[in-house]
Amino acid sequence: MKKVGNSYRLAGVALALASGTLACGLDSLPGGLSGGDDSGALFRDAFSDSGSGWDTYSDEYGSVAYVDDELAFEVLQEQSIIQSIYTEEEFRDVRVSVSVTVDPDVTDPGYAILCGFRNFDNYYSLGFGKDGYYAITKVSNGDTTVLTYDNNEWIQSDDIETDKKTYALEAVCANGELELLVDGVSIAKVEDGSFPSGDVGLAVLTFTEPHARATFDDLKVVEAGKE
């Protein structure tokens, strides 16, 4: 099992914010489509435009950048989390889906969708690893709690196919319920209504291995129950 401590969150984005190194391109939306479209999406982004509104930065903990029509993450230290938040619009009662291409050289990292994001001390994270581990996590007032296991650890599921190159990751954050889906299969569902609305985000986490890469593509946000 993978233990998650409260100090874990302090790496990556949180430290980048404190040091002033986080660069946010939030002035325009040409790369993403917000407010609904022909497919019924509230927001979708193929990451083809670097001004679509996601946090990008680079420091000693890692980086987020638009690369080849994807949002590319790199983590450079163990027990670290690199996050990117879309802050142009808040969402309530939604289903978030994204394609994630994982690091072929390591098995340990986690890949997550964030929802109900109020700030870096208050949000939900729904994540998995290609080793089959998963967790639905709440960060509240800076304290991290794994909602899917009492011992505050990621646990393994036989329903996650291991060692694939690309996964379909989904998070339902609606009506006081949180559900994690991987490749269309429901992995876990919990109840918590602490953050009924907020921004959405993406994250890559490391545990015992100090390095990880991943790319995200084809993100879509739809109203829960209408996908």
Residue 141 φ/ψ region, left for φ over 0, alpha for ψ in the -120 to 50 degree band, beta for the rest = left
- CA proximity to 60, closest of 43, 41, 75: 75
Residues 122-140: what's their mean pLDDT? 98
* CATH number of residue 160's parent domain: 2.60.120.560
Q: Write out the H or E segment, with its range, that includes residue 18.
A: helix 13-19
Residue 9 near residue 82, CB atoms below 8 Å: no
Looking at the 3D structure of the chain, how many domains does it have? Answer: 1
Q: What is d(CA 200, CA 2) in angstroms, rounded to the nearest whole number?
A: 24
pTM comes to 0.86
pLDDT computed for residue 225 by the predictor: 85
- CA proximity to 15, closest of 106, 76, 102, 88: 76
pLDDT band at 15 (very low <50, low <70, confident <90, very high): very low
For 209-222, write each residue's pLDDT tens digit: 999 999 999 999 99
Looking at the chain, how many residues does it have? 227
Backbone phi and psi for residue 16, each to the nearest 5 degrees, phi listed first: -65, -40
41, pLDDT greater than 90? yes
Structure tokens given for 9: 């969150």
- CA proximity to 73, closest of 165, 203, 217, 167: 203
Q: Write out the H or E segment, with its range, that includes residue 15.
A: helix 13-19
pLDDT computed for residue 138 by the predictor: 98
Q: What is d(CA 144, CA 86) in angstroms, rounded to the nearest whole number?
A: 21
Q: Write out the H or E segment, with its range, that includes residue 45.
A: strand 43-45
Bridge partners (DSSP) of residue 91 are 198
Residue 146 near residue 4, CB atoms below 8 Å: yes
Residue 167 near residue 157, CB atoms below 8 Å: no
Q: What is the DSSP string of 94-107?
A: EEEEEEEEEPTT-S
Rounded-to-10 torsion of CA 124, 129, 133, 134: 20
Domain that holds residue 214: 2-223
For 170-222, write each residue's pLDDT tens digit: 999 999 999 999 999 999 999 999 999 999 999 999 999 999 999 999 999 99
